[in-house]
Amino acid sequence: MLYENKIIIIFVADKINSTIDMLDVKQTLKDAGERMEMAAMYLGDELQRIRAGRANVAILDGVRVDSYGSKVPLNQVATVMVPDARTIAIKPWDRKAIKDIEKAIMDSDVGITPENNGEMIRLNLPQPTEERRRELVKQCNKIGERTKVEIRNVRSDIKDKLKKAIKDGLSEDNEKDAENDLQKIHDKYIKQVDALLDEKQKEIMTV
């Protein structure tokens, strides 16, 4: 009877350990997906800031304006609008801030000289040349490749963790299943990166 109880205890313990392993794997894969998603989101943000000839308020996301002794985002001191495909209009909530806003744009890497009429600032985006468009595509591809490297690094890191987990009791079958799931997550975000790059390239090359 004691021997049978011991077998039952061992069997239950093995089931518990197996469940813990599965929960650890699920969490690890979830963490991998989140890290890859963050890399793809970063790429999306970076691509938005690249001027493709069409007006996009995202190019002003990095502009910080002096306001009462602090540096604040532009959209906290002004309304930013896109009245047409080549123009960004900025209307300060306080007309006294217009000079500070103009200076902040000039000091930033936006690369467009603001026009100030005393009430509103306008940014007129020049039509990029064919050569400039191709340079922008190359710039986007470089950022995209760095993002892919980051996603691959996450995959490599998680694969190493899964291999080491076998020594801690994770079954080889569970490890192989986890690697397959990891590859699917990797492929999903690589595909997302390619889609973002394709969309941006079309935007840049459209005259």
For 59-97, the pLDDT digits (tens) are: 888 899 988 888 889 888 999 998 888 899 999 998 888
> What DSSP state is assigned to residue 76?
G
User: pLDDT at position 187, please?
Assistant: 97
Using only C-alpha atoms, the chain has a radius of gyration, in whole angstroms, of 26
% the chain with pLDDT above 90: 41
Tokens representing 76 are 């906290």
- Gap between the Cα atoms of 122 and 63, Å rounded: 15
Side by side, which strands form the sheet with 78-84?
A: 78-84, 87-92, 121-124, 115-116
Residues in the chain: 207
Q: Which domains are present in the chain?
A: 24-51+129-206 (1.10.132.20), 57-124 (3.30.1360.40)
For 112-133, the pLDDT digits (tens) are: 888 988 889 999 888 888 888 8
User: pTM score, two decimals?
Assistant: 0.65
Query: In which band, very low, low, confident or very high, does the pLDDT at 141 lie, cut at 50, 70 and 90?
Result: very high
For 87-113, the pLDDT digits (tens) are: 999 999 988 889 999 999 998 888 888
Whether the per-residue pLDDT at 34 is higher than 80: the answer is yes
CA atoms 81, 87, 91, 97: torsion sign:
positive
Whether the per-residue pLDDT at 196 is higher than 70: the answer is yes
Q: How far is CA 45 from CA 7, 62, 167, in A?
A: 57, 11, 40
Mean pLDDT score across all residues of the chain: 84
- Gap between the Cα atoms of 135 and 168, Å rounded: 50
Q: Dump strand ranges (E) for the chain.
A: 64-67, 70-73, 78-84, 87-92, 115-116, 121-124
